[in-house]
Amino acid sequence: MTTARLTLLAAAAALACGFAGPARAQEPEAVTPAHQQWSFDGVFGTYDRAALQRGFQVYKEVCAACHPVKHLAFRDLAEIGYSEDQVKGIAAQYQVTDGPNDKGEMYQRPGRPSDPIPGPFPNDQAARAAENGALPPDLSLITKAREHGPDYVYGILTGFKEAPAGFKMMPNMYYNEIFPGHQIKMPPPLTADGQVKYSDGTNPTIAQMAHDVVTFLSWAAEPTLEERHRMGFKVMLFLVIAVVVLYAAKRRVWSALH
């Protein structure tokens, strides 16, 4: 027990109460991904609008084949620099299920800005059935749901390699130097430079596409970051002044005693 992992304690405790949670297969080694430069880093960090739109394009043309962004609605895209009409246009490209109508039937209609962006599968079971049993995770919080968030996702996207000699791969798995355990079920999503055609003249190298889509996903996970940074600056400035004034007041009040 002393050397047992805590998860075993949890599993044992769960078992003791008649609930069997599946035990983890093995302890995967953690790899620290290299740090990248992000426009949203730092106290004054903001999202690069052009990178966000390119990143959305990469998401839409590559990632969206398997991964949903459950917490995003079309209307949110206005924040990354699309006009109202552009948002309407993007939404209208999707078919969403609505209803029931007067006859009690569900029906399909073009998407509206207020709709959540539909995922590629109607439910998790359908996703597993289509993906060899693996469930492609929701991406709208992915950069907050992993250690080293954006660097990790970038590392995964650019970390596909040939397995080293002697490394035993399981069937239908891909070698990735960042993924814990190095075996990932996701096939390399970005395989060639120019896979996505950018309209703003940016050269779509794998590194560029990965960087853009991670910027987009970071915004998707934390759309209020810019507002937070702006307000934070004002609050800190106010507090610094308040602290100086209060310290002077304290000195003055206490000077009567000394």
Partner 1 sequence: MAASGPGASSSRIVRWIDYRLPFVKFINHELYEYPTPRNLTYWWNFGSLAGIMLVIMIVTGIVLAMHYTPQSDLAFDSVERLMRDVNYGWLLRYLHMNGASMFFIVVYIHIFRGLYYGSYKYPRELLWMLGVVILLLMMATAFMGYVLPWGQMSYWGATVITNLFSAIPVVGNKIVTLLWGGYTVGNPTLNRFFSLHYLLPFVIVAVVGLHLIALHTHGSNNPLGIDHKGPGDTIPFHPYYTIKDMFGLGVFLLVYAGLVFYAPNLLGDPQNYIPANPLQTPPDIVPEWYFLPFYAILRSVPNKLFGVILLFSSIGVLFILPWLDTSPVRSARFRPVYKWVFWLLVIAVVALGWVGAHPPEGVYVTVGRIATIYYFLHFLVLFPLIGKLERPRPLPLSIGAAVLGRGGAAAAAESD
- Do the strands 95-98 and 183-184 form a parallel or antiparallel pair, or are they unpaired? unpaired
Q: Toward partner 1, which CB reaches closer, 13 or 192?
A: 13
- Nearest distance from C-beta of residue 151 to partner 1, angstroms: 12
Q: Toward partner 1, which CB reaches closer, 192 or 241?
A: 241
- Nearest distance from C-beta of residue 53 to partner 1, angstroms: 19
Report phi then psi at 78, rounded to 5.
Answer: -60, -30
Q: Toward partner 1, which CB reaches closer, 1 or 170?
A: 1
Distance in angstroms (rounded) separating the CA atoms of residues 107 and 96: 8
Distance in angstroms (rounded) separating the CA atoms of residues 47 and 217: 11
Q: Which residues bind partner 1 (CB under 8 A)?
A: 1-7, 9-11, 13-14, 16-19, 21-24, 27-28, 43, 70-71, 76, 137, 141, 144-147, 149, 180, 221, 223-224, 227-229, 231-233, 235-236, 239-240, 242-243, 246-247, 249-250, 253-254, 257
Q: Toward partner 1, which CB reaches closer, 25 or 170?
A: 25
Report phi then psi at 57, rounded to 5.
Answer: -60, -45
Across the strands, what pairs with 184?
174
Peptide bond into 137 cis (omega under 30): no
Contact call for residues 112 and 74 (beta carbons, < 8 A): yes
Across the strands, what pairs with 109?
96
Q: Toward partner 1, which CB reaches closer, 165 or 256?
A: 256
Contact call for residues 110 and 92 (beta carbons, < 8 A): yes
- Nearest distance from C-beta of residue 177 to partner 1, angstroms: 18
What is the distance, to the nearest Å, from the Cα of residue 27 to the centroid of all Cα atoms in its chain? 24
**Integer distance in angstroms from the first to the last C-alpha of the chain?**
61
- Nearest distance from C-beta of residue 207 to partner 1, angstroms: 24
Q: Toward partner 1, which CB reaches closer, 101 or 132?
A: 132
- Nearest distance from C-beta of residue 4 to partner 1, angstroms: 8
- Nearest distance from C-beta of residue 76 to partner 1, angstroms: 8
